[in-house]
Amino acid sequence: MNNAQKFYINGEWVEPIGRRTLDVIDPATEQPFATIAMGTVADAERAVAAARSAFASFSETSKTERLELLNRILVILKRRNDEIGDIISKEMGAPVCMARSQQAGIGLSHFAETIKAMEAFEFDYMQGTTQIVHEPVGVVGMITPWNWPINQIACKVAPALATGCTMVLKPSEIAPLNAILFAEILHEAGVPKGVFNLVNGDGPTVGTVLASHPDIDMVSFTGSTRAGISVAQAAAPTVKRVHQELGGKSPNIVLRSADMETAVSAGVRRCVDNSGQSCNAPTRLLVPMERMDEAIGIARRTADAITVGAPADPATDIGPVVNQPQFEKIQELIGKGIVEGAELVAGGPGRPAHLNAGYYVRPTVFARVTSDMTIAREEIFGPVLAILGYESEDDAIAIANDTPYGLAAYIQGDLAEARALSRKLRAGIVRINNSAWDGAAPFGGYKQSGNGREYGKFGLHEFTEIKGVVGYADNEAIS
């Protein structure tokens, strides 16, 4: 990759100011396969200056001009989709087929949904004699994670471009190469100089600059709650807008009206998808207490049938987790589940027996878990499911809401029952009966899962300021 040790600033691939580099590790082999440059404070400030300079002109472009730009980007994203998927698979371990169709494919969906939402979006309208105007929020600092990298890049960059913002992106240094491909696509599409800038680096260096810089008007962050708190603290002195999508510990309530086989097996698979590395994964499965044994049997069979293996193998269901620290954290939490008395139903410590290298984790299910156990409270971010029992629907709601997080929740069973219960769950998105992903639905969390919403028209609102021009229309008749 020609640009791996460069940054994209002011419409050009430029040499970094510092000399620090970092190896990118293939989690399937534990070996480096690329090297990137790591940005300094000076690199980040250079990118912020470019974005600030470009804002004056790009913020005044027309809706038509920006729609044409988004459509050009979408065309090139489609052409390079498999290339993006392949590099994501290499960086963070997702199976190749899944990386192409879901990891890279969701980036396409976000641009398509943003275009659709933008076509219907009213940037200005009249409210009596007052004009209401949606204007770009300004220069945006974007800090994105490694687990769904293009997903989180696209759902920030697309609405920022749509609303006339300029930006500096710091992708995760763990999975940075897909962002370099993305920058190449934006360059080919003709994004004006300085509108989009990319600087690789770590959070304490580049991330802190973006969060604290007085010329950054908004910081949009996706990552852990711990890191999100640091971003908010760094942003506070400049009173910039802070948008955060953080951690989760999502409940999946199986109602008595549900088909247990369908609900539990789907719940296990959805939990371990992407090797469990999804902030909205349904990691707490709530089942009626009297059907716990039945649920355990289904969960065991489902987990044991999941194939863990090399990302390039078409038979693989889940690949490795992203790196050694993540592997070790998951192993520690599996150990805590055992020590604290949860019933180990499937999986457990260590790699699958047929794999002697790579950060592979056995799909693990614990049952008879209680809400005070560590595995029921902490975000594990691995293929580990906790099954909890409930006595009544009120009990299920209380257990589901007994968490500092509130990103997502799931309900399986009778539709009318599920609709009623959805209003009682303190979560930003509720999915009923294994519903398909909706790229136009608002995405974001309650409580310590963050603030603000992404996707579709909700993303457009996040990247705008609202201005009221009072007396814009002739009000003589009124006065």
* The pLDDT of residue 474: 81
Average pLDDT for 218-236: 96
Helices (H), 121-250: 149-163, 177-189, 208-212, 225-235
Is residue 245 part of the annotated active site? The answer reads: yes
Q: Count the neighbouring beta carbons within 10 Å of the beta carbon of residue 445.
A: 27
Q: What mean pLDDT, rounded, does the chain reach?
A: 97
How big is the CA angle at 178 (ends 173 and 180), to the nearest 5 degrees? 80
pLDDT digits (tens, 9 = 90+) for 389-446: 999 999 999 999 999 999 999 999 999 999 999 999 999 999 999 999 999 999 999 9
* The pLDDT of residue 179: 98
Structure tokens that stand for 88 in this block: 């994501």
Whether residue 46 contacts residue 111, with contact meaning beta carbons closer than 8 Å, is answered with: no
Average pLDDT for 191-199: 98
pLDDT at 133 over 90: yes
* The pLDDT of residue 475: 67
Report how far residue 129's alpha carbon sits from residue 471's, in angstroms, rounded to the nearest whole number: 6
25 forms beta bridges with 32
User: Which of 374, 364, 440 has the alpha carbon at shortest distance from 159?
Assistant: 440
* The pLDDT of residue 48: 98
pLDDT digits (tens, 9 = 90+) for 328-353: 999 999 999 999 999 999 999 999 99
pLDDT at 478 over 60: no
Of 45, 91, 279, 462, the active-site residue reads 279
Of 45, 91, 173, 245, the active-site residue reads 245
pLDDT digits (tens, 9 = 90+) for 76-93: 999 999 999 999 999 999
pTM of the model: 0.96
Is residue 417 part of the annotated active site? The answer reads: no
User: Which of 384, 313, 389, 347 has the alpha carbon at shortest distance from 94?
Assistant: 313
- pLDDT-based confidence at residue 111 (cuts at 50, 70, 90): very high
* The pLDDT of residue 145: 97
pLDDT at 477 over 60: no
pLDDT digits (tens, 9 = 90+) for 248-291: 999 999 999 999 999 999 999 999 999 999 999 999 999 999 99
What structural domains and CATH numbers belong to the chain? 7-246+449-469 (3.40.605.10), 251-432 (3.40.309.10)
Strand 124-127: give its sheet, edge to edge. 124-127, 130-136, 464-469
What is the β-pairing status of strands 446-447 and 405-406? antiparallel
* The pLDDT of residue 188: 98
SS3 353: coil
241 forms beta bridges with 218
Q: Rounded to the nearest 10 degrees, what angle do helices 177-189 and 81-92 cross at?
A: 160
Report how far residue 396's alpha carbon sits from residue 238's, in angstroms, rounded to the nearest whole number: 42
Phi and psi dihedrals of 124, rounded to 5?
-150, 145
* The pLDDT of residue 181: 98
Average pLDDT for 352-375: 97
pLDDT digits (tens, 9 = 90+) for 202-215: 999 999 999 999 99
* The pLDDT of residue 476: 62
